[in-house]
Structure 1
Amino acid sequence: MAPGSAYPIDPAGETGFTVEAASMKFGPGMLGELGGDARGLGLKRVAVFMDQRVADTEPAQAALASLRREGVDGVVYDRVRVEPTSETFLEAAAFAREAGVDGFISIGGGSVIDTAKAANLYATHPADFLAYVNKPLGEGRPVPGPVKPHIACPTTCGTGSETTGVAIFDHVEKKVKTGISSRWLRPTLAVVDPTTTYSLPPGVVAATGFDVLTHAIESHTARPFRSRPRSETPQLRPPYQGANPWSDIGSLQAIRLGGLYLERAVADPSDLEARDQLMFAATLAGLAFGNAGVHIPHAMSYSVAGMNHRFVASGYESAPPMVPHGISVVLNAPAAFRFTGPAAPERHLRAAEALGADIRGVGPEGAGAVLADRLVALMRATGLPNGLSGIGYAEDDIPALAAGAIAQQRLLSIAPLPVGEQDLHGLYRDAMRYW
């Protein structure tokens, strides 16, 4: 058996892992250098993706001014939707084709960055929309090759999308979220400026901050990379490879930073140190999960968000009703980690300790529970809903929720133990209420 996994090591299976980390710069004021970054990539005319709220902020204006100073023509697209859909992805791609740009810049949260990725893909390699969408909802066709340069500038401390090759959207017709995954979608450069988070409402910091934590914990507790079959060629090695020594470095440090600073960043908007550190944790977690993968909480989240367009979260009052991604993920996480704990107890205990739990005297049988309890304590301290019932779900919804989650095999296959549809029924039942 692989250490800390229910999956055995296959002697004829995978023996190596690939690291394709994005180039990244981090620090207050880095958006003021954006024009120079674009010029350094040879860009002359770029599509600048953002949503209307971001467009009026000081960091976004500094970024646009930097482009003008360097003579880079920035064509602004500010119609990005929070929690994008297949329709909004296609609208953005049509804009990109008509604008005739040689590169992309995204300034915003994960929704903005993912929309820019999709627009870049479909403008560069036109195809039917479902061609590149992950199976079984789409064809899962490989992206043919490189897309145009993309500089991703996150404005929330959560998604890590600036470092990954994944674009997530709401498949409205199927009432579930899914995505497109390819190494070619990873942004060319991530410009991470924590000043963009200073004006975020506490509710947004909480939602995105829990996305950081779940990314990192799922990455650390993923099945080991050596438990997967060997790829036929290096190019076919999947973006989500399983936990490995490189991803462990970023995931554990992201968990530590989240445990230290998330509650502070939510409680006191003037605590700039906490917001800076949480922003760095988000990037570390993105690097880790973009390499190792995420599993059950994210797989469960896609139907949680896809089936609910009535909930209004704190901090998102100006957006259409929806379940923000970080909330849709973390509401499943305590139930999921109680379930996976026995398959990888050492890794769950390490994650719990990094998050700030007292693990003295906790044996392997309690590893999942102590991690779950620490997460629940943080959820309560930061004002999150009390499980899925807190956002309007009930027992009758479980079959539909589980049917949506079982379709996310790309994610479920990364869990440290096999997951069936009946397991998901139990997990959603456990996630209904935590206190």
Structure 2
Amino acid sequence: MTSDPTSTNPPGSNPQSLKGNWGFPTQMLFGPGRIRNLGRACKGLGMTRPLLVTDPGLADLPMVAEALAANEAEGLPSGLFSAVKPNPVGRNVDEGVAAYRAGGHDGVIAFGGGSALDCGKAIALMAGQSRPLWDFEDKGDNWKRVDPAGVAPIVAVPTTAGTGSETGRASVILDEDTHIKKIIFHPKMMPGTVVSDPELTLGLPAHITAATGMDALAHCLEAYCAPGYHPMAEGIAVEGIRLVKDWLPAAVKDGSNLAARSHMLAAASMGSTAFQKGLGAIHSLSHPIGALYDTHHGLTNAVVMPYVLAFNRPAIEDKMTRLAAWLGLPSPSFTAVQDWVLALRAELGIPERLDGLGVGDERIEEIAVMAAEDPTAPTNPVPAGAAEMRRMFETALTGRLA
């Protein structure tokens, strides 16, 4: 049932509910060829000797060598740190900080996909801190423990269109001792400049394009559904979803389609901008699954997505009907959006169930508890504790949407 627009008390009519804390991104240099502005971006933030943080795979590619050479030519000798796991761990951050200090660096270039961006931002945060990393986990006012003067300036260069970490104020880092993915947060972790060049994403394999693109969709979709008043974030989220609908299949089908790559890079940044409003159980489940099974984050989000939507249906039915109309789906309704998500997953070759990721039921109780305690859980549209998380996990294992 949709809302009655003629009602004397339509949703959002209570002024006391129209409150929120809003913050938006940073300077972005967007478009093909903008990587040529990297040196200028670094100098603009006062860097003279930056440390480029990336992952081992990218470190051996020409794009990184070319970026380092271009900086050198501009009088910006740059170091390289690439000991970053696909799901970055605290040890990666510690080793990166050691390299930063040993090299006398004065800024970080976070260059790559979500893992490199998150690790690079965390290294910049920790470069001038005396407390351990986990003291800054995103709980309560832990962020106030940070010495803001010790946070190094950051330039972010995304090479995938997924996490959107380039426009985020946090990093997801795995605590290997507890096997828990923790969110490290501080406002100064927002990169001072983002260089978004879709040409850097042209070589991305189809399956990674699909998985990272579904991560961008998850961010936009959960932000749109999260409770609370943030119309700007919701508007960005809805347009991000439309871009994914129109351009992700094209980017997967033809990796050289620069228009598709551009729109997806924008959608990814829009997702992380929007999710300051909140996320939900898609991420609450994906975080522990990734921590325990080392699955790809975006792919895990894609697998659990329709099952979480089905669980949340009572709270998001009206929103899904409006979204379906905006997307131009036939017979706008919750079912129309759900059917579109299922069809998109099938088109992209996403597994229907968690067993397609090598995930079983042997740790179901542990995952349910971890999901309920995840910092993304409180903004799920339907309150979800361990029992509810367990139920969603079970449906994702069996493939039951009802």
Q: With the length of structure 2 as denominator, give the TM-score of the two structures.
A: 0.90
Matched, 1:165 2:137: no
Amino acid in the other structure paired with 1:393? V
1:257 is the counterpart of 2:243: yes
Q: Distance in 2 between matches of 1:374 and 1:330?
A: 13
Residue pair 2:45, 2:192 contacting (<8 A) in 1 also: no
DSSP-derived class of the 1:68 partner: helix
Answer whether contact 1:104 1:120 (CA < 8 A) is retained. Answer: yes
Q: Residue 178 of structure 1 corresponds to which residue in structure 2?
A: 182
Distance change (3 Å), C-alpha of 1:281 and 1:259: same
Letter in 1 for 2:253: A
| Residues in 2 aligned to 1:404 and 1:158: alpha-carbon distance in whole angstroms | 24
8 Å CA contact retained: 1:214, 1:297? yes
Over 3 Å counting, the alpha-carbon distance change for 1:307 and 1:99 in structure 2 is same
Give 1 or 2: higher helix fraction. 2
Distance in 2, Cα, partners of 1:324 & 1:354: 30
The residue aligned with 1:191 is 195
Q: Trace 1:1-40 onto structure 2 (pairs within 5 A).
A: 15-40=19-44
Residue 393 of structure 1, CA deviation:
2.5
Kindly report the root-mean-square deviation, in angstroms, between the aligned alpha carbons of the 2 structures.
2.4
Cα-to-partner distance string for 1:343-387 (whole Å, 9 max, x where unaligned): 132222233445564234x3xxxx2x4333321211111111222
Which residue in 2 is equivalent to 1:358?
330
Letter in structure 1 aligned against 2:185: S
Residue correspondences, number: 391
- Give 2:105's match in structure 1, choosing from 98, 101, 106: 101
Q: CA deviation at 1:279?
A: 1.3
- In 2, Cα distance between the equivalents of 1:109 and 1:279? 11
How far residue 29 of structure 1 moved from its aligned partner, in angstroms, is 0.8
**Residues in 2 aligned to 1:176 and 1:385: alpha-carbon distance in whole angstroms:** 24
Counterpart pick for 1:298 among 283, 304, 309: 283
2:301 corresponds to 1:329? yes
The amino acid that maps onto 2:286 is S
Q: Which amino acid aligns with 2:347?
A: A
Cα distance 1:359–1:180, how it changes in 2: closer, same or farther (>3 A)? farther
Task: Tell whether 2:266 aligns with 1:280.
Answer: yes
Alignment of 1:17-416 (within 5 A): 17-135=21-139, 142-146=145-149, 147-225=151-229, 244-289=230-275, 291-308=276-293, 322-354=294-326, 357-360=329-332, 362=333, 367=334, 369-408=335-374, 410-416=375-381
Cα deviation, 1:140-169, whole Å, max 9, x if unaligned, reads 664332522100000001110000011002
- Give structure 2 stretches of 5+ with no counterpart: 5-10
Q: Which amino acid aligns with 1:144?
A: D
Q: Secondary structure at the match of 2:148?
A: coil
Deviation at 1:191, TM superposition (A): 0.7
1:262-295 per-position Cα deviation (integer Å, ceiling 9, x unaligned): 1121122232322222112111222212x31211
CA contact (8 A) 2:159 2:198 kept: yes
- Mark the CA change 1:391 to 1:81 in structure 2 (over 3 Å): closer, same or farther: same
Deviations 1:298-342 (A, max 9, x none): 11111111111xxxxxxxxxxxxx311101222211111112222
AA paired with 2:71? L
Distance 1:108 1:180 in 2: 19
Offset at residue 183 of structure 1 (A) = 1.2
Equivalent AA in structure 2 for residue 89 of structure 1: V
Q: Distance in 2 between matches of 1:76 and 1:222?
A: 39
Q: Which residue of 2 aligns with 1:231?
A: none
CA contact 1:34–1:67 (8 Å) conserved in 2: yes
Asked if the contact 1:22–1:186 (Cα under 8 Å) also holds between the matched residues in 2, the reply is yes
Contact 1:335/1:372 (8 A) holds in 2: no
Secondary structure of the residue aligned to 1:48 is strand
Q: Deviation of residue 12 (structure 1)?
A: 6.0
Query: What displacement does 1:17 show?
Result: 3.2
Query: Which residue does 1:431 correspond to in 2?
Result: 396
Deviates more, 1:152-161 or 1:415-424: 415-424
The share of aligned pairs that are identical, in percent, is: 29
8 Å CA contact 2:166–2:191 kept in 1: the answer is yes
Alignment partners' CA distance in 2, 1:400 and 1:356: 40
CA–CA separation in structure 2 for the residues paired with 1:372 and 1:387: 15
- One-letter identity of the residue aligned with 1:130: W
